[in-house]
Amino acid sequence: MTSNIVVVGSLNMDFVVMVNHLPAPGETVLGRDFQMIPGGKGANQACAAGKLGSGAVATRMLGRVGYDVFADHLKASLAAAGVDVSAVHATRSQPTGVALIWVDKDGQNSIVVASGANHALTASEIQGHRASFRGAGLALFQLETPLDAVAAALALAREEGARTMLDPAPAQPLPRDLLERVDILTPNESEACILLSRRVSRVTPAEAPALAAELLRLGPKAVILKLGEQGCYYCDGQAAIHSPAFQVAVRDTTAAGDTFNAGLAVAIAEGKNIGEALRFANAAAAISVTRLGAQASIPSRAEVEAFLNRPR
């Protein structure tokens, strides 16, 4: 069984600089190795779904870019991954989104996004894309486009029978009526804390069940807590699974969460059970953190299968 995936979200050109340590407020640090790498949480998820779906799962992206050279690069990167970009439209009023990213020697990053054209995606434009959701198995969302556009797209996806997956990043508190349209909510630790209006702190796997239960009370049908090197925790109120992370040498965590979500969506679209889908998503994310950049780090389907089948 396979079904199609629709991704609604942002496209950014990432300006990436390697640094020894992330700058503190007021500090100037000397960086190395500047690179421009296609990114944006929405585009990363679409690119990963295209690569991991390997042609068997059709992926379509809805979003906004500007009229500039970055737009061409971003659309080309998605098209090369097999993604349908015919619903990525250009706006004259704003430049293509960019993200300024510093990556330190331990692979941790700081990101500032200048949203540009991503913020020109409107709820009324989304209403014109009903046909994009028709027949789709899953629709993926994040929060780098305006919230009313996300809410409209979630409603449309539900009406057309697609399962919805929301990555609540960048973190912000969300209204209950929006969360009630979410089938699978996938926060990391800090996003989970912000959704629950509590102080951001690390979450251990032992604390995950209570946190997931609180998140379920906000309205989604299922929650997957992304716990970084501690793996992830799935809970739908009945079944609960802790899926451990694969241990790898971390180079850059940018887009690991996006790769995870797309891997999960592809595996679900292919009919894998949730335990298998979490393992597949963890493997794709693990490979991505061993490489620099967002879309440049996303593995192919063959690489994930080789990783899962490697001798141990």
What is the contact surface with ligand RIB in residues (CB under 6 A)?
10, 12, 14, 39-41, 44, 99, 111, 113, 144, 254-255, 258, 294
Query: Nearest approach, Cβ of 180 to ligand RIB (angstroms)?
Result: 25
CA gap 201, 138 in Å, rounded: 31
CA-based nearest residue to 42, from 143, 123, 190:
143
Query: Nearest approach, Cβ of 155 to ligand RIB (angstroms)?
Result: 24
CA gap 1, 311 in Å, rounded: 29
- CB-wise, 16 or 274, nearer to ligand RIB? 16
Query: Nearest approach, Cβ of 42 to ligand RIB (angstroms)?
Result: 8
Cis upstream peptide for 175 (omega within 30°): no
- CB-wise, 146 or 219, nearer to ligand RIB? 146
Query: Nearest approach, Cβ of 255 to ligand RIB (angstroms)?
Result: 5
Strands 12-19 and 97-103: parallel
CA gap 110, 104 in Å, rounded: 9
Catalytic residue among 84, 183, 252, 258: 258
- CB-wise, 186 or 270, nearer to ligand RIB? 186
The greatest distance separating any two alpha carbons of the chain, rounded to the nearest whole angstrom, comes to 54
- CB-wise, 40 or 220, nearer to ligand RIB? 40
For residue 300, give every residue at least 6 positions away whose Cβ sits within 8 Å of its Cβ, in sequence order, or none: 51, 52, 54
258 is catalytic: yes
Residue nearest to ligand RIB (CB): 39
Query: Nearest approach, Cβ of 44 to ligand RIB (angstroms)?
Result: 5
CA gap 119, 128 in Å, rounded: 17
- CB-wise, 14 or 84, nearer to ligand RIB? 14
Query: Nearest approach, Cβ of 103 to ligand RIB (angstroms)?
Result: 11
- CB-wise, 58 or 255, nearer to ligand RIB? 255
Residues annotated as catalytic are 258
